[in-house]
Amino acid sequence: MVVASQRNAEADRIFHALADGTRRDILAVAGAGTYSVSALAKRYPMSFAAVQKHVAVLEGAGLITKEQRGRERIVHTDVDTLQRARTLLDGIEDLWRARVERIDDLLATEKRTTGGKR
Amino acid sequence: MSVTSVEKDLASLTLTITADLEATVERAWQLWADARQFERWWGPPGYPVTVVDHDLRAGGRITFFMTGTEGERHDSSWEVVAADPPHRLELRDADVDGDGRPNDGNAITAMVVTFDERDSGGAVMAVCTHFDSLAGMEEHAGFEEGMRGVFAQIEAVLAGTPA
């Protein structure tokens, strides 16, 4: 299960990164336009260092990549990683749909066996 | 189809599924409150669920395990945060190892289940699952997916090709 635990560690980083409002905003902003770290920093009422730290967390989780462009570092949102979270939610939806189907079957079986008294 | 809505919030890693059930609210509550009933719907076919502890009161604990096709055991442990029969249930789920201890760095998920009467009769059950971490989501979503992976490996071995 080495692969699974590696995957989980990676997943933890992704979630930790997503758990913060500023970081989610950075993802949205960097996904919609071209921003350097310093341009991003101007958007938030916090220090450059604080924004830089958020960017580093996002980068560590694979949610963004940085590209050196001249003296600027341009931040790109990694859509694939976000897509992974979406795929996971889809998987959980499937799980619950299957559970509700089993509940329906259970209730229907009971109705038949008790002559619909419930 | 009795699932009436599925809401997914990618940012907060929340999934809310709402279903109409052909049952009274009290009956719907029993799906969770009665361990034998819970065992019948929680796990996928072929993976029997065995409830070990089932104390459905605030502060109580629910522990159960699912047995896989090759006898492997998947333990779960939930803490009951709030239980207000037959309308609301709040649970916190921690993945645990074989001794019932939480795994390192594990994911905790919270689940809020509500039961409401439908005007036309029957019950509306809503389950809101919040994942503290993506790993927890992978545990959930990956279980059946993981099983498929195992089968793929077996098939690969039988076919004499590396997985």
> Shortest Cα distance from B101 to chain A (angstroms)?
17
- The encoded tokens of residue B161 equal 């090709």
CA distance B111 to B119: 25
Q: Does A82 touch chain B if contact means CB atoms closer than 8 Å?
A: yes
Whether B1 shows a pLDDT value over 50: the answer reads no
Give CA torsion, residues B133, B126, B17, B91, to 10 deg.
20
**Inter-chain residue contact A12 with B134, CB threshold 8 Å:** yes
A107: which chain B residues are within 8 Å (Cβ-Cβ)?
A: 21-23, 27
**Inter-chain residue contact A107 with B133, CB threshold 8 Å:** no
What does each C-alpha distance from B69 to A24, A95, B106, B151 come to in angstroms? Answer: 40, 18, 24, 11
**Inter-chain residue contact B105 with A9, CB threshold 8 Å:** yes
Whether B161 shows a pLDDT value over 70: the answer reads no
A118: which chain B residues are within 8 Å (Cβ-Cβ)?
A: 23-24, 27
By Cβ distance, the residue of A92, A100, A104 closest to B137 is A92
Mean pLDDT of B126-142: 68
Q: Note the pLDDT of residue A59.
A: 87
Inter-axis angle of helices A2-18 and A79-113, to 10 degrees? 100
Confirm whether pTM is higher than 0.80. Answer: no
pLDDT digits (tens, 9 = 90+) for B59-98: 999 999 988 878 888 888 888 999 999 999 999 876 555 5
pLDDT digits (tens, 9 = 90+) for A43-95: 999 999 999 999 998 888 788 899 999 998 999 888 777 777 677 777 788 88
By Cβ distance, the residue of A92, A93, A104 closest to B2 is A104
Q: Does A83 touch chain B if contact means CB atoms closer than 8 Å?
A: no
Q: Note the pLDDT of residue A106.
A: 93
